[in-house]
Chains A and B, each alone.
Chain A
Amino acid sequence: MSLLEPTALAWLGVLPVLVLLWLTRLRRTPARVSAGFLWERACREARVDSFSRRLQANLLLFLQILAALALALALARPYLPVISGSAPEMALLIDTSASMGARQDGSSRLEVARDQARRLVREAPAGAQILLASHDRTARVLLPFTRDRSAALRALDALEVRQVAADGRAGWALAASLLASRPEVEVFLLGDQPPEAPPPSRLTWIECGRPAANVGLVALRAARDRDGTFALVVGVRNYGPRPEQRELELRRGGMLLAARRVGLPAGGRDTLGFRLPASGSDLLEARLLGSDALAVDDRAWTILPGRVVHSARVVGPRNLFAERALAAIPGLELTRSENPQGAGLVLWQGEAPWPLPPGVHILLRPPAAWRRGEPLAQAFTLQPEQTPLLDEVPLADLAVAGVTPLNLPPGSEVLARAGPHPALALVRQGQATALVLAFDLYRSDLPLSPALPLLFANLVESELGGGRGPVDSESVPGQPLEIRTLEPVWVQRPDETSVRLESEGGRAILPDPDRTGVYQVRVGEKVWPVALNMLDPRESDLTRRLPAPRWDLPAPHPTPPSQRFGIAEFWPWLAAAGLLALLAEWLVDQRRRRPGRPQGGAP
């Protein structure tokens, strides 16, 4: 036997109190009698000193102790493990990503989901086993299969929205796993991003919340110019079907720096540029005033970069567009040489060697080892993937020609495609990282758009970093925050709670930062701020539908399900026993308290 609520055993503390009260009550009332010898004889004949008579005399105490014991045990909810053959199973998978915090008609989507889940739990058939899981960036089982409905309801009450972008695949993957491994399970997915395709049998999608309009920040980037001032770019997007107007505020170190009215057409976006003076706090906040369905994307923070200089080297024949794009990146000193040694970044404008030396490389012509044909004369429209390296890089709808078909080595990431061919790829091999352009730059629209310098700037920042020390200045919620240090670290979260992290292998990791805002990382005496922003269209777009997931489910189980272990609670019996004991105690007491008769201190 085990207990589900062992802390309730603290109620057993009433037992000594009962005994104490009983002893207090046993101060017997003196009564004068004329014939003590007759009473002595009566006591002898009635055998009042026998054990059974003593027990009878203390019957009330016995019943009170019995009632207290039974009720305390009932509150502790004891259970016995049992084997059940065919108990129904129900899995509730609830989306807790940031968009579930969107409020409509006074309640959030998570509250709607919670109500729906509560209804399912209450209406589940008797003996049903219930599993509760949440999913956003990852899926987590909060309560394994149990028959304890109150535990399920409590777990539901404890659910909170996490300011984390959803990865729709996490929830679907858990659902698929459950469906595959448990032939009788009924899975309920509760969320706000419905799938495009209908779910398979035994899986029910419950949509929580209706599509809603929302305006959110989608970009906040700052770059230091050579004169020490900062160029700031703020992206705002309207995800709703109607035009919107919002006020945008910029605050530096908490002081209002600028305010601007932003007009956004339906579904449109706007990018605003600001120039900031060199001096002042390095913490900058952008804030959209007014309210909409989702608040988490109305604020964003960035840490203004310090002055960092990286060396870049151009090798091979000149390519004016590429050189100018690199030259536009602040903090990058560009030189020409045929020797790539010693440079942080190397721009290969001609044939590049393979394997590449350690460092970051931009290859305007792929190595011969990867090419599997001559450049194609056909023009293609670029199809960019969603990847941090292409943030704010307007590649969509740009035309390219002279695309060379490639066989990319393992570990490569395709950033954009030209038809079926990779057009832009990031290749990592050993200590070398290379951005590969598989098309002819001169025969593309890239030089005519800001995409090229932005792409190069993203590469420099992501691969060479801002030179800020042990931690990146920006991250995204839900992604482990890695601090490169050998010392212990204190991290203060946006809600001002702190946590101490120990360094292991040269890193300290905050595993699951689930709040947007500024985290203060203190290493030794120095503090490094880190901004975590919800600049994710997947969360801000409250009308979005998920692409149809792939359901690779095995065939239904051919044999009856094997026996499963469950629990059988018997607290109702204990509670009933306790109440019966109380009732018996009351009856005995009433029987002893006959009305109109003198009492001798009897309870």
Chain B
Amino acid sequence: MAPLLQPEFLAWLERLRMLAGRTPTGSGPGENRSPARGRSAEFSEHRDYRPGDDFRQIDWRAWGRMDRLFLKVFVEERDKTVSILLDSSASMGSGGPGSPEEGAKFDQARRLAAALAWVGLGDLNRVGLGLVSDRLVQWHAPVRGRHQALELFRLLESARPQGKTDLTTAFRQFAARSKSPGLVVVISDFLQPGAGVDALRLLRHRREDLLVAQVLDPSELDPDAVGDLRLVDVETGSVREVTLDARLLKSYRQALQDLCDELSAWCQAQRCGRVLVRSDADLQPALLELLRRGGLVR
């Protein structure tokens, strides 16, 4: 796998930082906007005065012009805990049959995690990072400040895809270690029966805000190998001898589509952002889409 901290990658993250805005939820003040309205320097909107409102918040200038009492509402800025859970099971290191580049998927997932962490730390949020497979393999408790990014990057760089996938167990372990709900970004291929929806449901019950990034390799999305193959599942080791032809490939694509649709439908129902990231695609649009859906950019 390619090293994560390439100068080009860091420069790209910096550009991304310029694009990113703010949005809050957290126990302390931060750079993120919070849905909670409060006192701060940042004006949010006007609303009609209702009895019991703080007189100090009345916009007297508007009263002078319009002869109506309006209340100035400000965004209360608070810090936010962003938990990034990266799937490091063996399936993340592999692709479909005939995949030309082993590990491309995991590289893309790591870059995505790194970018999210960088953006999150840049907004004075607290960012935690976890590696999951059939358990919570490693957990870096939330940290704040850009200077902490290097630690997270090192963790990502040392990560290797291995082990089976059991997101339910892993998320349960994460929930036990996470102190307060926040934004949880799950980066995985979700290639498991049920598309990991049960595991996501567990997080959702904890009132976590969820962002789902499904990373897939082109050889998984559109395999085009043909002929006689012995397919070996990288996680279970099970073997299936097949003769790949158009009909079988079509069945496979349909099965994958059904899996993705299941994940997508759940996310839509739960108002969770879901982004499909191809391992061979440019990361920037997918990342911006993810940040936008997570409210991490303006």
Contact = CB atoms under 8 A, between A and B. Distances in A.
B255 A38 contact: yes
A526 interface: no
A595 to B, nearest CB: 11
A523 B47 CA distance: 142
B191 A26 contact: no
Contacts of A34: 90-92, 94-96, 105, 189, 191, 217, 220, 233-235
Given A45-B251, A46-B247, A599-B227, A31 B232 contact: yes
B98 interface: yes
A36 interface: yes
18 contacts: A29-B227, A29-B230, A30-B229, A33-B232, A34-B90, A34-B94, A35-B233, A36-B232, A38-B191, A40-B240, A42-B248, A42-B251, A48-B243, A48-B248, A592-B226, A597-B224, A600-B226, A601-B229
User: Could you say which interface size class chain B belongs to?
Assistant: 35 or more
A56 B259 CA distance: 29
Contacts of A36: 231-233, 235-236, 238, 240
A430 interface: no
Contacts of A45: 251, 254-255
B244 interface: yes
B73 interface: no
A597 B225 contact: yes
A30 B98 CA distance: 9
Interface string A235-248: 00000000000000
B67 interface: no
A28 interface: yes
A163 to B, nearest CB: 67
Given A46-B251, A601-B228, 16 more contacts: A25-B228, A28-B241, A29-B227, A30-B229, A32-B94, A34-B96, A34-B220, A35-B191, A36-B235, A42-B254, A45-B251, A56-B245, A57-B245, A594-B224, A598-B225, A600-B227
A274 interface: no
B227 A601 contact: yes
Contacts of A56: 245
Interface in A343-396: none
Given A34-B191, A35-B91, A42 B229 contact: no
Interface string B31-45: 000000000000000
Contact of A42 (B217, B224, B255): B255
Interface in B217-276: 217, 220, 224-236, 238, 240-245, 247-248, 250-252, 254-256, 259
Given A35-B91, A46-B247, A598-B225, A30 B230 contact: yes
Interface string B88-128: 00111011111110100100000000000000000000000
Contacts of A57: 228, 243, 245
B193 interface: yes
Residue of A30, A42, A594 with highest tally of chain B CB at under 10 A = A42
Contacts of A26: 228
Interface in A564-603: 592-594, 597-603
A30 B240 CA distance: 10
A154 interface: no
Contacts of B220: 34-35
A51 interface: no
A603 B227 CA distance: 8
B72 to A, nearest CB: 54
A600 B228 CA distance: 5
A213 to B, nearest CB: 77
Tell me if A's interface is mostly helix, strand, loop or mixed.
Answer: mixed
Nearest to B189: A34
Interface of A: 25-26, 28-43, 45-46, 48, 56-57, 592-594, 597-603
Nearest to A598: B98
A600 B97 contact: yes
A594 B244 CA distance: 13
A52 B225 CA distance: 22
A50 to B, nearest CB: 11
B224 A31 contact: no
Contact of A39 (B92, B217, B242): B242
B241 to A, nearest CB: 6
Contacts of B240: 36, 39-40, 43
Contacts of A43: 240, 242, 248, 251
Nearest to B248: A46
B229 to A, nearest CB: 4
B225 to A, nearest CB: 5
Given A28-B241, A38-B259, A33 B228 contact: no
A19 to B, nearest CB: 16
A37 B191 CA distance: 9
B82 to A, nearest CB: 27
Interface string B186-229: 00010111000000000000000000000001001000111111
A56 B189 CA distance: 33
B191 A31 contact: no
Contacts of A37: 192-193, 233
Residue of A25, A26, A35 with highest tally of chain B CB at under 10 A = A35
Contacts of A602: 226-228, 243
Contacts of A592: 226-227, 245
Interface in B160-195: 189, 191-193
Contact of B230 (A28, A38, A41, A42): A28
Contacts of B233: 33-37
Nearest to A37: B193
A-B pairs, top 4 by smallest CB distance, nearest first, are: A602-B227, A36-B233, A600-B227, A34-B91
Contacts of B230: 28-31
Nearest to A596: B224
